[in-house]
A and B are shown apart, each in its own frame.
Chain A
Amino acid sequence: MAGQSAAIIESKDAYFSYSGDGEPSPALSGINFSVKRGEYVALIGPNGSGKTTLLKLFNALLIPSNGEVLVKGISTTEEDKLPEVRRSCGMIFQNPDNQLVATTVEEDLAFGLENLALPVSVIRKRVKATAALLGLEMLLKQPPHLLSGGEKQRVAIAGVLAMEPDCILMDEPTAMLDPAGRHSVLNTVHALNRNRGIAVIHVTHFPEEAALAGRVLALNEGRVVADGAAKKVLTDLDLLHKIGLQGTTAGELAALLRLGGCPLPSHILNNRELVDNICTLAQNN
């Protein structure tokens, strides 16, 4: 146990097939990968590549048909330990409406804690602290359905956070949000990762969001096709294009400009890097 204590999640040669006809190949094939405490991993891949399935394996919503998934050293097949697995790996879905259950924000944050049968005083304290951390104090008495999309998603994150998780699993958490909502959710999650050491696995279709992660894992047809630093995976445009993905706008534009004879470096990921590099080139002319 001690030697691997830093790994929150480990997937050892995990396979998964949805039982049912018309599925020629498994949804996941031989996934080997582990996430350490405090890591921020973006999970990318085209529709149907197995991203959501993999996320569900980590939360024991699905159990591998072959191989093994360990959460803090506990196999997800150990049914009596599933509450602990799910407490330590909380899931945020794409649509917050699917996971907000109570009639007020306050009750929603308390829902998971009540199910842990914690004393009321502890619940009150945690709800208050979590709300303060995510800037939701003013919303505690509000019914969730009257909140904006970004607010709802932050309430969903708070509900998971109140459980004091080691890892937050997020399935396209910003897909339904407007730019302001996206920013607030991304800022919130990155701050939790930085300041509290909570590991994050973030499924996204937005290359710009993946670029904010420390590490990027790319899936295609149920297999891991790339795993490494964001700078490395997201600038490998050949690989991304081959599996039907794109790099960041800045990265793609830099590649086009290189083809047009601009000697820009190949590691450009974000707008600032691109603008800085172009301006430097223009000055040197």
Chain B
Amino acid sequence: MYIGTEQLTHTYMPGTPFATKALQDITFSLQQGCFALIIGPSGSGKSTLIQHLNGLLKPTAGRVFFAGQSIGSDKQALLGLRKKIGLVFQMPEEQFFAETVYDEIAFAPRNQGLTENEVEERVNNAFEKTGLQSASLLKRHPFQLSAGQKRLVAIAAVLSLNPEVLILDEPTVALDLDSRDHLFNLLAQLNQEEGLTIIISTHHLDHVAALADTALVLKQGQLMLAGSLDEVFSRRKALYEMGLSLPAVTEIMHSLAERGLPVSTCVYTMQKAKQEILAAKKRG
């Protein structure tokens, strides 16, 4: 019961002919320190749900809670909340506005009224965590960086708040494989070593599945499945009917199992797949 919602409903443009129910009666709770995926096709309400978790939207009905407290609409309380729950938007680098990488990362801690020394410590700390090489990057204009570097800077700008929860909306869109792997390693490290709770919305499950332990599946604003990753991913047919697909490696294991090979289908990494297949071959 760390972070979650109770019967959360959200309607965009209520009371107008354009009213759309983006979320309907969503109830779930996540544990502190978990690595959760919010999965669903486009338009299923993933981004709306994420914005509720950081108090950017107000429920039409129901409530959102964090650390035993309802997220209300009190401005001061919300400001405090957003220090603890960091949100990285989709394509966050499109929102860069500062002249240097340093200023970009320093923006949030400065806004908190920290001294310039404290700000510097926060910036260096956050920058270091992202594994970006060479401190000279801090002096460059954010637009001079590569796509992967920009994304990491955007994440550093949120990490500079020292959040307890890090929420990322489609964090790997438009990144190449190296940058994506780097990003996932960073998230795994933050989760395992620093105990950050990580929540990611995505529909590319291929590599993130190896890191996650929990999954929520949304479709047309409704929570269709929720539970451990193994539980949710075992519902292959249900996922398929929602227009979602399992990670490619998991898909291969399902096909092998269907053809009678005695392998587990709860497999999300290449190494595990290799072990399973080699073991099955020996047994067979």
Contacts and interface: CB of A to CB of B under 8 A. Distances in A.
B274 A257 contact: yes
Interface string B149-178: 000000000000000000000000111111
A244 B281 contact: no
Contacts of B179: 47
A260 interface: yes
Contacts of B144: 22
A172 B91 CA distance: 15
A157 to B, nearest CB: 17
B243 A279 contact: no
B245 A179 contact: yes
A252 B247 CA distance: 14
Contacts of A116: none
B282 to A, nearest CB: 9
Interface string B32-57: 00000000111100000000000000
A177 B42 contact: yes
Interface in B230-255: 243-245, 247-249, 251-252, 255
B277 A278 contact: yes
B176 A262 contact: no
Nearest to A249: B248
B259 interface: yes
A31 to B, nearest CB: 20
Given A178-B203, A246-B177, A250-B248, A48 B278 contact: no
A275 B281 contact: no
Contacts of A252: 270
Interface magnitude class on chain B: 35 or more
B176 A244 contact: yes
Given A253-B274, A278-B256, A47 B248 contact: no
Contact of B252 (A46, A148, A179, A249): A249
A257 B274 CA distance: 6
Contact of B41 (A178, A248, A282): A178
A274 interface: yes
B216 to A, nearest CB: 15
B248 A149 contact: no
Contacts of B192: none
A282 B280 contact: yes
B206 interface: yes
Contact of B42 (A47, A148, A249, A281): A148
Contacts of A47: 146-148, 175-176, 178-179
Contacts of A172: 174
Given A48-B147, A256-B270, A282-B284, A275 B252 contact: yes
Contacts of A208: 248
A257 B273 CA distance: 9
Contact of A46 (B40, B42, B178): B178
17 contacts: A22-B144, A47-B146, A178-B203, A179-B203, A180-B243, A181-B42, A205-B175, A248-B248, A253-B273, A256-B270, A256-B273, A262-B278, A271-B255, A274-B252, A278-B281, A279-B256, A279-B260
Given A46-B177, A179-B41, A205-B176, 8 more contacts: A148-B42, A150-B42, A179-B244, A179-B245, A180-B41, A244-B177, A250-B252, A275-B255
Interface of B: 40-43, 144, 146-148, 173-179, 203, 206, 243-245, 247-249, 251-252, 255-256, 259-261, 270-271, 273-274, 277-278, 280-281, 284
